[in-house]
Homo-oligomer: A and B are copies of this chain.
Amino acid sequence: MGISKSEEFSVKDNRVSKVAKALSHPARVAILRLLHSKKTCVCGFIVDELPLSQSTVSQHLKELKASGLIKGEIEGPRTCYCIDEKDWEAAKNYLNDFFEAKSENTKGCC
């Protein structure tokens, strides 16, 4: 069907998958790396750094904004995109918790 039954999974699993989805394309990873390294900020410069058209970059920025990882502020004719530090930390923790989660009871196999 193509529609994902996300309602049927736990809040925790949805949180992890939502963050992961934002990071699931190399362009978005690259954008976040640029923004987080504080090398740039303005959309136009991001476009210069990536092998994608302006409209495509703009679309990725929109998705990242929707995921909550970045904010965009209009500054004159430009838009300044920045990491939302709180959400960045939260995302980091969601993934970290996921990877750290262990259990006492071990199953026999493996």
| Chain A interface (Cβ < 8 Å from any Cβ of B) | 4-6, 8-10, 13-14, 16-17, 19-30, 32-33, 36-41, 51-52, 73, 75, 80, 82-83, 88, 91-92, 95-96, 98-99, 101-103, 105-107, 109-110
**Within 8 Å CB of A24, what residues of B?**
17, 20-21, 24
**Within 8 Å CB of A98, what residues of B?**
23, 29, 32-33
**Within 8 Å CB of A14, what residues of B?**
26
Closest residue to A30 on the B side, CB-wise?
B13
A36 to B95, CA, bound (A): 14
A54 to B32, CA, bound (A): 37
Q: List 29 A-B contacts (CB under 8 A).
A: A4-B25, A5-B51, A8-B51, A10-B26, A13-B26, A13-B30, A16-B23, A17-B25, A20-B20, A20-B23, A20-B24, A21-B24, A23-B95, A29-B98, A33-B98, A36-B101, A36-B102, A37-B101, A38-B106, A39-B103, A39-B105, A39-B107, A40-B107, A41-B109, A41-B110, A82-B109, A82-B110, A88-B99, A95-B99
